[in-house]
Structure 1
Amino acid sequence: MIKSVITSILLATTAVQASPALTERALEKANNNDHYTLPKSDRNPRARASAIEVKRKGWQYSEYPMGVAYYPTGTLANATIARDEAEWLPPILAKAAATDKEGPIALEAIKSKGGFKKLEDYVNLYDGQWAESFPEGPIPGILTNFTDDRTFSMMRLSADPYRVQRVKPSDKLLFPVDDAAAITGLSLEELQAQGRLFLQDFSEMKELDPTDKFGAGCQGYFYIDPKSDSENDWMLAKMLQNQDSGWDTTWSHISRSHSAAEAPYLAAIRTLSDSHPVLAMLNRIEKTPWNIRPLLEDGVVSGAAPDSGPSYYAWTSLSGRTWANQVYSSGETANFQSNYYRTFLENRGLINSEFGPELKHFPFYEDVAVIVESIREFMAVFVNSYYSSDSAVSRDSELQAWQRETDVAKVYDFPKSIKSRRTLIDILTHQAYLGGVVHGVMSTNGAIGDTTSLPFAPAGAVWQVVTYAAANRYSWKDTNETLSYLFEDQAMLSKMTPQTRLAAKKFKSTMDAFSKEVRARTFDKDGLNRGMPFMWNVLDPNWAPYWSVV
């Protein structure tokens, strides 16, 4: 795969050299310190409009088989993609070099200890084997408490919250559980009527093209116990359900974070001037966004055995692409407004439910709320510093053009109008959430530490760690690539309002404080942290990258 990526880089670099010169206006803006301006304040509106038209010709829509959403093409788009790939590739190659070196060493170490004869032996897979690739191993508690039912249940509320939902009293039960009362003290119908029943449904996976590995498209009920949790060791069922979660995070993250963010961003590039503060903000949020889908597509179709898929999954890679495209096209992962984090969680009955008891612990929501509301606070200052009123937003011709363009770009469920500051704040907050939070939970820091960790999420062994280590960025811990630095682009901030610069400092301070809070967490006297027998730290703002890395 790496060879193919290098080839594409070389081809793209050639495109850069052959692409026509940018307009004089664009070159001027690239080489001076003019502040970002709204259309009505531009000293030369005709030149501004002309530069946008040049961009429209240089950034065009093309179909792409992976992730469904339009992918950019054109002279300017190709030049940008080439520059992005030149920046994006070195960390990928460095990670590949580390896993190439450490994978065989880990395999030999496992063999020397007798291989895997029981589930507990999988601890040897991580024991000091990945000094560069994955030095801290899975999230604390995962390897020692994987048989605890609370590990399984609480992963639904932290590592993989995107497919769990509360069962409504009016919903038809998908399958019976005859001995539910013996297990829970209440029948399935009683749990449902009380709003205590939850569902995670992966049944569509049974229709995917299989490999020679064992797997199942699982459905699972979860419940809030009226009394207390009992210890039931349904290990095989739990492992199969976790395998489904691993598949979900692997493939649906492409559409839930990458494609969902790329579509409105491409529409913005085609309609907003490079001098517009909103596009400047989007450029910061969407760092090198155009690289991953070609890489994944290449891995699907040009591997040694593309129909067999990764060696640890029960379904083929081609099925993975088809499935990812289906969940995007259905709107499940692509819908813009209905995937605002609070709206999404409310629609699934996980917060602010009108029936049933509240969740006692919801680690995903607890951490995400701190980060996203801080992002929203920053965006509110940013937007209000440029627009004195809602009518000022309505009069921004480029913003209105962006909204219309989202129809052309096939952005699902985008706001029907941008006529208020709140609407614009919501849009920008969600764009940052898609790259910095959704991607971080489903890929980057998340997957290798929880949903794909062995033995609880069985699939492969050394190969599984090698694959998911490619997304992990341990070496970026406490660097300026993390969420705390989301708005710390001094070149951008120097051309923005004083209020925006102050808001960026406040955001950084808030994230630093939250990072300290995350790192200070401990297990209580019962061996739990926020109801979990593991320490979920995926969204530590000084570790989680602020952008969709891979």
Structure 2
Amino acid sequence: MVFTMDIHKDTLRYSQKTAEPTDPSTKLANAPSLIPFFELTPNNTAPFATAEGTANTDERQAGVKARREQFPYGPDIISGGLTGGLPYPDIKSSKQAEDFVNKQFADLIGEQGIIVKDIANEAAVTASRPDLPLNGGRFQKLEDFFKLYEGDWMKSIPDGPFPGTLENGEKDLLFSMERLSIQAFSIRRLRPDEKPEFAVDDETAQRVTGTTQAQLLKDSRLFYIDYRDQALQKLTEGRYAAACDAFFYIHPESGDFLPLAIRANAPDSALVYTPADDRYDWLYAKMLFNVNDMWFGQWFHVIFTHEVIDAVYLASLRTMSNSHPIFNVLSRLGLQTFAIRLSALRTLFNPGGPVDSIFAWGGDESKKFISRLFADGATTWTPHYFEPELRARGLIDSDGPALKSFPFYTDSKRIIDPIRDYMRAFVHSYYPTDASLADDVELQNWIAEASGPAQVQAFPTSLSCRDDLVEILVHYAYLVSVAHGVLNTNDLSLAQLVVPWHATAFYKPVATEKGMTEQDIIAALPDVKESIRAIQLAAAFGRPSLAGGDRALIEMFEDGLRLPRYNEETREAAKVFSGEMERFSDEVQARGFDEQGLSQGMPFVWKVLDPRVTPFYVAI
């Protein structure tokens, strides 16, 4: 594996503070190789200023014009065009753009070299253990897979998977609540006037839920996830997967969010599974679903966070001066942003790379899938604002019964609301009235650029209200931190890709009849060697070493080079934000199981959005 992660040599706990240089110009959080580009040298103490009045000099605008020419738009480097993704800097025709991207890439890859070695060593230690059946061997029981996490991953997964993830992996409540925590971007509530895509007969539905599918629909208690489009993909030879769709529901009596049915939609298999089936048939169906869920989540994260942020930030490079306060916020949060797509192209989607080696479908299929997500609107801006998007899927403020627990929403909101408070103070301090927005030529050009040449779908085309600007900046911050942190980074090794419950592929054709046994499932899952490779890949996306450091979310606005050049109101807002994140982090770190064996209504303890741990930027 060559797709890498950021690990220091010593095991880190969440409460520890990493040792860092005292000179802010040497910290990776400040992109040291690009400090001259951003004019952030210590002798430059000029306050940041919007492009209006006396601050909008001819010299300043000449610099903006020159940089615009240095950063032309190029095609999406993953799909190879602009019909399958958003623009990327044209590094082939512009030496300046190439230099900028290469410096970001060098910052990213420089720390990853150490990590590659660390992960490889840990995987080798695990693969050499005498208590594991290697060389194509298989475990005898599903719980034997737990041995793979016993102490060998002390640098890359220092605290192991989240408590409960392994032990409670077969529980229906864990399976369903994963849809409301570790990957909450697919589920939607069905409207009472919708026709369900497949039927669950009344007798079975009564056994499972105490009522019928039709009644659940009528009462707005029925939810749906659809991964049938994955049937369009060409499977890698020797690997198999379904293309599941599934119903979930709010129980009429307990209020628990639970699974109702999973349809496999595999070649020669239209089987519908429910909790009323035998134990291993139902477990097998959940595992089939998890393969599809993993595939969707990872490529959705590429298009939803990386591609969108790249395009919006590229638009700012073409329209704003280094002196503009908003450009500096975007640059801080856009740390290493262009490096990620380039790294993915070279070390993830590459022939023979991790996708080809691990997943049911290869790297070329992943790129096609990303293009389909783009066509389906995954990069739209305003429709994906945090609460409006959840509201549109019926997950909050619905006419139906509320979800008893929605960890993704509640944890995210604890971060997004303070981000909004910071951005409001920041924007209102630089723009005293709504009318003052119109006088800032760079701001207005950025809005026009992002919604026009940068091709960010549904980005605002004009700006006349300060609070609209606040929401634009909040969404940018949400994508780089919360959304990315949930869909990728530490969540993979701690929950989303924890074997055996979450596989990247099956190695036997999808069952065409029921009657699975535990041994049948084990025979279909990756063997021990392949399972170790899956853990290795998941660990490669983790950033546990950022815990307590200056790239953790709690430090989002504590920019040692830029902060002194913002106005007093902005500096004070940064302190308030850090204080709010400190309090939330304390709450997250104190989480455990209650007397019912639950945490946030789930049989596992989810801590992925701990502000002292999760990065403030798109770290990988």
Q: TM-score, normalised by structure 1?
A: 0.92
Quick check: 1:424 aligned with 2:424? no
The alpha-carbon deviation at position 494 of structure 1 amounts to 0.6
**1:95, 1:469 within 8 Å by CA — same for their partners in 2?**
no
1:437 & 1:209 partners in 2: Cα distance?
32
For residue 99 of structure 1, the aligned residue among 112, 119, 137 is: 119
**What is residue 310 of structure 2 aligned with on the other side?**
262
For residue 363 of structure 2, the aligned residue among 317, 327, 331 is: 317
Aligned length: 528
SS, match of residue 209 in structure 1: coil
**What is residue 339 of structure 2 aligned with on the other side?**
291
1:162 & 1:240 partners in 2: Cα distance?
18
**2:3, 2:348 within 8 Å by CA — same for their partners in 1?**
no
1:28 & 1:102 partners in 2: Cα distance?
39
Note the residue ranges of structure 2 that are not aligned, 5 or more in a row. Answer: 5-33, 80-84, 259-274, 505-529
SS, match of residue 194 in structure 2: coil
For residue 253 of structure 2, the aligned residue among 205, 214, 227 is: 227
**What is residue 183 of structure 1 aligned with on the other side?**
208
1:44 & 1:241 partners in 2: Cα distance?
55
Please give the residue correspondences for 1:39-58 in structure 2 after superposition, counting only pairs within 5 Å: 39-43=51-55, 45-58=57-70
Quick check: 1:32 aligned with 2:44? yes
2:197 & 2:346 partners in 1: Cα distance?
38
1:40 & 1:470 partners in 2: Cα distance?
45
1:456 & 1:3 partners in 2: Cα distance?
23
Q: CA RMSD in A?
A: 2.2
**What is residue 75 of structure 1 aligned with on the other side?**
95
Quickly say closer, same or farther: Cα 1:310–1:142, change in 2 above 3 A: farther
Flag the structure with higher helix content.
Answer: 1
Quickly say closer, same or farther: Cα 1:96–1:227, change in 2 above 3 A: same
**What is residue 203 of structure 1 aligned with on the other side?**
228
SS, match of residue 490 in structure 1: coil
Q: Deviations over 1:403-450 (max 9, x none)?
A: 111211101110121111011100111101101011101111112211
**What is residue 239 of structure 2 aligned with on the other side?**
213
**1:245, 1:451 within 8 Å by CA — same for their partners in 2?**
no
Q: Deviations over 1:312-370 (max 9, x none)?
A: 32212211111012102321x201001111011001000011x2100000000000001
**1:271, 1:405 within 8 Å by CA — same for their partners in 2?**
yes
Quick check: 1:122 aligned with 2:150? no
2:38 & 2:484 partners in 1: Cα distance?
32
Quickly say closer, same or farther: Cα 1:110–1:34, change in 2 above 3 A: farther
SS, match of residue 156 in structure 1: helix
**What is residue 172 of structure 2 aligned with on the other side?**
149
Please give the residue correspondences for 1:347-358 in structure 2 after superposition, counting only pairs within 5 Å: 347-353=392-398, 355-358=399-402
Quickly say closer, same or farther: Cα 1:76–1:31, change in 2 above 3 A: farther
The alpha-carbon deviation at position 300 of structure 1 amounts to 5.5
2:130 & 2:46 partners in 1: Cα distance?
59
SS, match of residue 199 in structure 1: strand
Quickly say closer, same or farther: Cα 1:25–1:78, change in 2 above 3 A: closer
The alpha-carbon deviation at position 288 of structure 1 amounts to 0.8
2:40 & 2:589 partners in 1: Cα distance?
45
Quick check: 1:444 aligned with 2:492? no
The alpha-carbon deviation at position 513 of structure 1 amounts to 0.7
1:239 & 1:28 partners in 2: Cα distance?
50
The alpha-carbon deviation at position 110 of structure 1 amounts to 6.7
1:33 & 1:412 partners in 2: Cα distance?
37
Q: Deviations over 1:296-315 (max 9, x none)?
A: 222366433x6x94433221
Indicate the larger mover: 223-232 or 455-464: 223-232
**2:2, 2:347 within 8 Å by CA — same for their partners in 1?**
no
**What is residue 22 of structure 2 aligned with on the other side?**
none
**1:59, 1:75 within 8 Å by CA — same for their partners in 2?**
no
Quickly say closer, same or farther: Cα 1:28–1:491, change in 2 above 3 A: closer
SS, match of residue 461 in structure 1: helix
Indicate the larger mover: 121-130 or 81-90: 81-90
**1:196, 1:223 within 8 Å by CA — same for their partners in 2?**
yes
SS, match of residue 225 in structure 2: strand
1:110 & 1:266 partners in 2: Cα distance?
52
**What is residue 419 of structure 2 aligned with on the other side?**
375
**What is residue 362 of structure 1 aligned with on the other side?**
406
For residue 455 of structure 1, the aligned residue among 480, 494, 500 is: 500
Quickly say closer, same or farther: Cα 1:309–1:112, change in 2 above 3 A: closer
Note the residue ranges of structure 1 that are not aligned, 5 or more in a row. Answer: 5-21
2:478 & 2:348 partners in 1: Cα distance?
28
1:93 & 1:465 partners in 2: Cα distance?
19
The alpha-carbon deviation at position 115 of structure 1 amounts to 4.7
What is the percent sequence identity of the aligned residues? 34
For residue 187 of structure 2, the aligned residue among 157, 164, 169 is: 164
**1:25, 1:48 within 8 Å by CA — same for their partners in 2?**
no
**1:246, 1:447 within 8 Å by CA — same for their partners in 2?**
no
**What is residue 85 of structure 1 aligned with on the other side?**
105
Q: TM-score, normalised by structure 2?
A: 0.82
Indicate the larger mover: 526-535 or 112-121: 112-121
Quickly say closer, same or farther: Cα 1:128–1:412, change in 2 above 3 A: same
SS, match of residue 38 in structure 1: coil
**2:349, 2:356 within 8 Å by CA — same for their partners in 1?**
no
**1:110, 1:125 within 8 Å by CA — same for their partners in 2?**
no
**What is residue 511 of structure 2 aligned with on the other side?**
none
The alpha-carbon deviation at position 267 of structure 1 amounts to 0.7
The alpha-carbon deviation at position 40 of structure 1 amounts to 1.5
Q: Which amino acid aligns with 1:170?
A: D
Quickly say closer, same or farther: Cα 1:25–1:341, change in 2 above 3 A: closer
Quickly say closer, same or farther: Cα 1:27–1:491, change in 2 above 3 A: closer
Q: Which amino acid aligns with 1:216?
A: A
**1:249, 1:447 within 8 Å by CA — same for their partners in 2?**
no
Q: Which amino acid aligns with 1:410?
A: Q
Quickly say closer, same or farther: Cα 1:99–1:288, change in 2 above 3 A: same
Indicate the larger mover: 64-73 or 517-526: 64-73
For residue 404 of structure 1, the aligned residue among 416, 429, 448 is: 448
2:555 & 2:242 partners in 1: Cα distance?
41
1:31 & 1:206 partners in 2: Cα distance?
58
**1:165, 1:350 within 8 Å by CA — same for their partners in 2?**
yes
1:515 & 1:25 partners in 2: Cα distance?
34
1:112 & 1:216 partners in 2: Cα distance?
29
The alpha-carbon deviation at position 187 of structure 1 amounts to 1.3
For residue 137 of structure 1, the aligned residue among 160, 163, 167 is: 160
Quick check: 1:546 aligned with 2:558? no
The alpha-carbon deviation at position 58 of structure 1 amounts to 0.6
2:57 & 2:42 partners in 1: Cα distance?
17
2:347 & 2:157 partners in 1: Cα distance?
22
**2:227, 2:243 within 8 Å by CA — same for their partners in 1?**
yes
Q: Of the two structures, which has the highest relative contact order with CA contacts closer than 8 Å and spacing of 6 or more? A: 2
Quickly say closer, same or farther: Cα 1:422–1:117, change in 2 above 3 A: same
SS, match of residue 180 in structure 2: coil
SS, match of residue 491 in structure 1: coil
**1:287, 1:548 within 8 Å by CA — same for their partners in 2?**
yes
**2:333, 2:556 within 8 Å by CA — same for their partners in 1?**
yes
